[in-house]
Amino acid sequence: MPATAASKLHRESHCAQAHGRRPEETLGGCPETKKAAAIPSVERAARSKPLALKQPVAIAALLARPASFVGKTVQVTGKITAVCQEMGCWMYLADDQGRKIRIKVNDGEIVFPNDGAGRIATAEGVFTKMTREQLIEQAQDEAESSKRPFDPASIKSGTVEYQIQGTGAVIK
């Protein structure tokens, strides 16, 4: 199945499971996600769980010593450099030196604003090490969101990346 068709099927299946809709009711996108996209950005951030940690960890510290943070809840602050344009389910935050970390949330739980790039955000969640399969899925989703081609072979075996499985975010 082509990547785009697989992604569409995933989104339709997600909507059907998450919102109790039949797949034919989700053609053209999830109505719940479309409703969330119409909410002003400030209110969308309010849909997340409240941030529990008092102090963010520098993105540079996470990336310099990732093994010491894996499995732990962390909080980071940075400038939003990219946001999922289809479901608002991920965003990248960067520090002042351009080091980036991906924040991924479960579809529909939190919707990051499509127009968030350039804004400052604080996000919280569990720091995780990604498998090759997860990296392929991530790259495929990002390629579809930005409407560019993707070749799974571009993700080499042994590639290691980290992300934050987000539970909360505040966007300024």
pLDDT tens per residue across span 99-120: 999 999 988 888 888 889 999 9
Instruction: For residues 26 and 80, state if they share a domain.
Output: no
Q: Look at residues 85, 83, 65, 84 and name the one whose alpha carbon lies nearest to residue 74.
A: 65
Cα 142 to the chain's mean position, in Å? 9
Q: How many domains does the chain have?
A: 2
Q: Are residues 22 and 46 in the same domain?
A: no
- What pTM value is reported for the model? 0.69
- The DSSP H or E segment spanning 162 is strand 161-171
Q: How sure is the predictor about 15, in pLDDT bands with cuts at 50, 70 and 90? A: very low
Give yes or no: residues 105 and 31 share one domain. Answer: no
Same domain, 107 and 162: yes
121 and 53 part of one domain: yes
Residue 140's pLDDT is 86
Structural domain boundaries enclosing 107: 41-171
The verdict on 32 and 49 lying in the same domain is no
Whether the predicted pLDDT of 93 surpasses 90: yes
SS3 121: strand
Here the tokens at position 73 are 């809840």
Q: What is the DSSP code (8-state) at residue 35?
A: H
User: What DSSP string describes 45-70?
Assistant: HHTSPPP--SSPPPHHHHHHSGGGTT
The answer to whether 96 and 81 have CB atoms below 8 angstroms apart is no
Locate tokens 């082509």: which residue? Answer: 2
Res 47: pLDDT = 58
Asked whether residue 21 falls in the same domain as residue 49, the answer is: no
Q: Which two tokens stand for residue 44?
A: 């969308």
Instruction: Quote the CA–CA distance of 94 and 140 in Å, as a whole number.
Output: 21
76 has pLDDT over 90: yes
